[in-house]
A = this chain, B = another copy of it.
Amino acid sequence: MAIDHLDGRLIVLLAREPRIGVLEASRRLGVARGTVQARLDRLRSQGVIRGFGPEVDPAALGYPVTAFATLEIKQGQGADVRAHLTTVPEVLELHTTTGHGDMLCRLVARSNADLQRVIDRVVGFEGIVRASTAIVMENPVPLRIIPLVEQAAGDTEGC
């Protein structure tokens, strides 16, 4: 179910130096190439590793402003709102949540002024009752997974 220590080391290695291939990884980890190959295949088929897509920085694309919007949805309009938000390119992520709001979405925009346009487009839809937005100022911890992988790998055995 979880991953073992070698899996963890492999994932961390790939996260740190994505350009290395299977052969180089096997050298670094001190195991045979076939082992790395098999581990990778298993991790992918188990869904632990979803893929190796490029990580794109929205800021470098011209969208330096990030914000999180909490949306309150009119009863029974959830599906329509989801469909609507999916069509907005600036909506990078959408979750339905418990708590004060009903949905939380991550937005990007070209500027603070442009954010207004994005928000207007997001909330300009029947079914959204209220929206409250928090603009991101700093991002002290960018999306990371390595510490979690290390914990998950370490739990299983003691190295």
- CB-based contact A142/B93 at 8 Å: yes
Copies of this chain, whole number:
2
- CB-based contact B92/A56 at 8 Å: no
- Does A127 sit at the interface, judged by CB under 8 A? no
With contacts A93-B143, A97-B136, A108-B148 known, is A48 near B60, CB below 8 A?
yes
Chain B residue numbers with a CB within 8 Å of A106 are: 143
Instruction: Apart from A49-B57, A92-B141, A99-B134, list 10 A-B contacts with CB within 8 A.
Output: A2-B61, A2-B62, A18-B53, A47-B60, A48-B57, A49-B56, A51-B55, A61-B152, A89-B150, A94-B141
Residues of A within 8 A of B (CB): 1-3, 11, 14-15, 18-19, 46-63, 66, 68, 82, 85-86, 89-101, 104-106, 108, 132-145, 147-152
